[in-house]
Structure 1
Amino acid sequence: MDGQPAASTPRGRLTRDAIVDSAAGLMYVNGVAGTSVDKVLAASGAGKSQMYHYFKNKEQLVEAVIARFLENILGNQPTIFALHDWADFEQWAGEILAIQTTPQGPIACPLGNLAGELGDDPKMAPLLDKAYREWESHLERGLKSLQEQGKLAEDADIARLAQTAMACVQGGLLMAHLRHDITPIADALKLALDHLKSHARP
């Protein structure tokens, strides 16, 4: 990330990770506005000088949190990196649903939480959009693979299909979390898959 020095030692990486992970946990629950630097330092056990060595200001910390949220999201969807068949898309959807059926679920999308708070912020909104676009890009690559194999219509707009699938996922996650019921995300994932498959070639 621009302007943020990398940790050059194992101890430094642990400190930086502790700061980012603590900030991510607090911002997921309390939002950015409700998360002060002092609260992050208390939760991470880091000192203020360490904090400002890695992050010049709170905005840079939020940028790191966005990256961490995306990293964690994609880490829970490993199949998204290898979408080569319709069965892979089914498995990807199953991985999303599996997270929602844990004792902690249904859980809100952490990027969605930040988007709700920072969607109008001229500095943060583009960073959130970039994270979503990276998430979508893996779906696009999978759809492109299907298209090249002749399993998806040649005239299918893969960017728009990926965007529609993402919209379904985000809406489903929001409603599932709000209602404490996995049905909305289960239905949204089915809707997304059905829409993608409507462009499949026989």
Structure 2
Amino acid sequence: MKMKKGLTAKGRATRQRIVVAAALLIREKGIAGTSLDDVRVATATSKSQLFHYFPEGRSDILAAVTEYEACQVLEAQQPFLGDLSTWESWQDWQHAVVTHYTELGQRCPLGSLTAELGKSSPQTRAVVSSLYDKWEAALVRGVETVTSAGRDAALGRARSILTAVQGGVVMLQTTGRTDYLEAALTEAISPLRPVGTQVGSV
């Protein structure tokens, strides 16, 4: 996560503590239901402290929380996303993804935050683009490791998998059902399964 320049180690820790607390409040109460006063109370900080770390107030905090939530999307997939070198690790990764979004249910903190900030804003685009670039790169490395696919083919497969995740998440958010996400991911990663291995076997 990007930090304000010139902060001491203690200052960076305080800023991060505010961001995490704000993220948890937004997850619990929603964006509209979370005020700067709520954040101050939750973090035991003064108004002057809050504006020291976030000069633009609410918009700065929301931008920082958006970046934090983007990091959480990738963190929830670890350690599997970092080492997709076997069919078993791909299955473990699939389980981690489904578990993460099942726990979130019909709430999507990152989606709500990007909508609030404006999907066309340069700041939002930068955060979302960085998230997908890192996610895609990890999937490409995994595909290349378990197949003999060239770079272009691996990229295509990785993008299909990532699209399956996002499509399944949209269906989850609109229906409350995880089976769409599970089915989409199973189909997307099935070409990576070694010959003779049964679906779901580890």
Question: For this structure pair, what is the TM-score category when the shorter chain's length is used for normalisation?
Answer: 0.7 to 0.9
Q: Which residue of 2 aligns with 1:167?
A: 163
Question: Which moved further from structure 2: 63-72 or 108-117?
Answer: 108-117
2:154 to 151, 154, 158: 158
Q: Deviations over 1:109-132 (max 9, x none)?
A: 433333444322233222222222
Unpaired runs of 5+ in structure 2?
197-202
Q: Which residue of 1 aligns with 2:174?
A: 178
In structure 2, how many angstroms separate the alpha carbons of the residues matched to 1:5 and 1:167? 39
In structure 1, how many angstroms separate the alpha carbons of the residues matched to 2:83 and 2:188? 18
In structure 2, how many angstroms separate the alpha carbons of the residues matched to 1:77 and 1:17? 21
Aligned length: 191
In structure 2, how many angstroms separate the alpha carbons of the residues matched to 1:134 and 1:18? 24
Q: How does 1:84-123 map to 2 (within 5 A)?
A: 84-101=85-102, 104-117=103-116, 118-123=118-123
- Percent of residue pairs identical: 28
Contact preservation (8 Å) 2:172, 2:181 = yes
CA offset at residue 172 of structure 1? 0.9
Structure 1 residues 26 and 120, CA, compared in 2 at 3 Å: closer, same or farther? Answer: farther
In structure 1, how many angstroms separate the alpha carbons of the residues matched to 2:68 and 2:22? 10
- Asked if 1:189 corresponds to 2:185, the answer is yes
In structure 2, how many angstroms separate the alpha carbons of the residues matched to 1:35 and 1:171? 29
AA matched with 1:145: T
Structure 1 residues 74 and 155, CA, compared in 2 at 3 Å: closer, same or farther? Answer: closer
CA offset at residue 201 of structure 1? 9.1
AA matched with 2:67: A
Q: Deviations over 1:80-126 (max 9, x none)?
A: 0111123221210011122345xx45354433333444322233222
Contact preservation (8 Å) 1:108, 1:174 = no
TM-score (norm 2): 0.76
Q: How does 1:1-202 map to 2 (within 5 A)?
A: 1=2, 3-9=4-10, 12-28=11-27, 29-31=29-31, 35-57=34-56, 58-78=58-78, 79-101=80-102, 104-117=103-116, 118-146=118-146, 151-154=147-150, 156-194=152-190, 196-197=191-192
In structure 1, how many angstroms separate the alpha carbons of the residues matched to 2:109 and 2:166? 10
Structure 1 residues 4 and 108, CA, compared in 2 at 3 Å: closer, same or farther? Answer: farther
Structure 1 residues 141 and 6, CA, compared in 2 at 3 Å: closer, same or farther? Answer: farther
The RMSD of aligned alpha carbons is: 3.0
Contact preservation (8 Å) 1:4, 1:54 = no
AA matched with 1:21: V
AA matched with 2:63: E
Report SS of the residue matched to 2:9. Answer: coil
Structure 1 residues 174 and 19, CA, compared in 2 at 3 Å: closer, same or farther? Answer: same
